[in-house]
A and B are shown apart, each in its own frame.
Chain A
Amino acid sequence: MEKKIDINAIYKPSEDVVARDVQGEFIIIPIASGVADMEDELFSLNDSGKAIWDKLDGKRSLKQVVEKLALEFDAPKEELEKDVFGILKELLKRRMLVEG
């Protein structure tokens, strides 16, 4: 069963990924298996995803992340919250984030 995400929860990037800006793209490679597989396990985040990833620093709650995004982007908070929850689900499913 999918875990319900709490808006007051704090998340940060997992130690089990390597993430870098590469040739204008934000690349994430999982390393939990002990091998970073650039052939089969190379992921990229789109611009929205990257903007959210940068704010998931293990200090801000998701609520604060949404507030910060609202200052940067001209979009309603409800919509931004959906974006944050959307990416969080994808990243948690692949164990790229952990609770901070």
Chain B
Amino acid sequence: MRDSCYLMREDSEKEISGEDFICLLHAVLEKGVSLKFKAKGFSMTPFIKGGDVITLAPFGRADYLSLGSVVAFIKPETKHLVVHRIVGRTDNGFIIKGDNVKEPHDIVPGTNVLGLVKKVERNGRQAYAALGPEKRVQAFLSRNTNLLPTMVTAWRQIRNLLGIKTKYE
């Protein structure tokens, strides 16, 4: 039975995905605790990029979620975990869409929404993810157009030209 090391720290590249990750996420959020994990994909670019570290928090009741909130939810058709933005609400649930996808939005029952994105970190620093009051504008843009990434790029160029820095830089 002898082993020299019983408890090992896993390196940050360890990948837990699919149902196992969802199970772990449930277990953590049920305890009222936030979970930090690495984002994958590009559907929320430029606000959340692959490799960014997301802090996902429990939100209590679905009433506490508002337009523009970025949430982790179980996609009803595929049962996959997805992190996208709430862009509206219907009697059947939330209307949720990625900021950088052309595909139609999802209608997601409140019970499928697991957690609320509170913070996004990129290269060890807090990244701007439109999670403040401006999230409502982002929700509008995301729902009605796919202009958002273009607008963000344009804004960055203007900002660089004018030498404006945000508090995240």
A interface, CB within 8 angstroms of B: 18, 20, 22-23, 27-29, 31, 34-49, 51-52, 69, 73, 75, 79-80, 82-83, 86-87, 90-91, 94, 96
Contacts and interface: CB of A to CB of B under 8 A. Distances in A.
B3 A23 contact: no
Interface in B15-53: 16, 20, 23-24, 27-28, 31, 33-38, 53
Interface residues of B, number: 26
A51 B20 CA distance: 21
The majority secondary structure among interface residues of chain B is mixed
A72 to B, nearest CB: 9
Nearest to B37: A38
A28 B10 CA distance: 10
Contacts of A94: 7
Contacts of A69: 1
A39 B7 contact: no
A22 B24 contact: yes
B161 interface: no
A23 B15 CA distance: 10
Contacts of B24: 18, 20, 22, 27, 29, 38
A51 to B, nearest CB: 8
B168 interface: no
B12 A39 contact: yes
